[in-house]
Amino acid sequence: MPTIFTRIIDGEIPGRFVHSDDVCVAFMDVRPLTPGHVLVVPRAEVDQWTDLETDTVAHLMTVAHRVGRAQRNVLSPARIGVMIAGFEVPHVHVHVVPMNDMADLDFRQADPAPDQVEVERIHAALREALTQ
């Protein structure tokens, strides 16, 4: 059975994409740790990031870097955090999180119902920043 991320990539479940290429996609997290939290996900359905080809890992981090720069420009956080945990979904995903404090990387603080108008505003701003 495909993971929820594969279903998002395939368009079965809606997603707010900020990046898409032949290797990976990046989309807004539906339970963001902070506003602007983005997931960078390979198209290949692989559970552990250490099982990916090194070229794919490098590409994911390149995309995460681009997303992080866009987040910094759009949201002006103190830091941009990057984390690969993978306990929630058995499909590699890189969390790219605008941060003002270390507590911003605490999954217990994820917002189960973010303001959708704000999410859409940030989504549009990140998409624009990534096309420049």
User: Which position among 19, 59, 91, 93 bears the catalytic label?
Assistant: 93
Query: Please, what sign has the CA dihedral across residues 88, 79, 50, 126?
Result: positive
Tally of domains in the chain? 1
Q: How confident is the model at residue 132 (pLDDT cuts 50, 70, 90)?
A: confident
- Average pLDDT of the residues of the chain: 97
Whose CA is closest to 42, among 31, 34, 50? 50
Q: Which residue has the tokens 């990916």?
A: 52
Residue 132 vs residue 38, higher pLDDT: 38
- For residue 109 the two structure tokens come to 């603080």
> What are 13-65's pLDDT values in tens digits?
999 999 999 999 999 999 999 999 999 999 999 999 999 999 999 999 999 99
Q: Give pTM, 2 decimals.
A: 0.97
Q: Is 93 a catalytic residue?
A: yes
C-alpha closest to that of 95 among 81, 75, 107, 106: 81
Q: Which domain holds residue 124?
A: 4-131
The enclosing domain of 96 has a CATH number of: 3.30.428.10
Burial 60-92 (b: 16+ CB within 10 A, else e): bbebbebbbebbbebbebeebbbebebeeeebb
Mean pLDDT of 84-91: 94
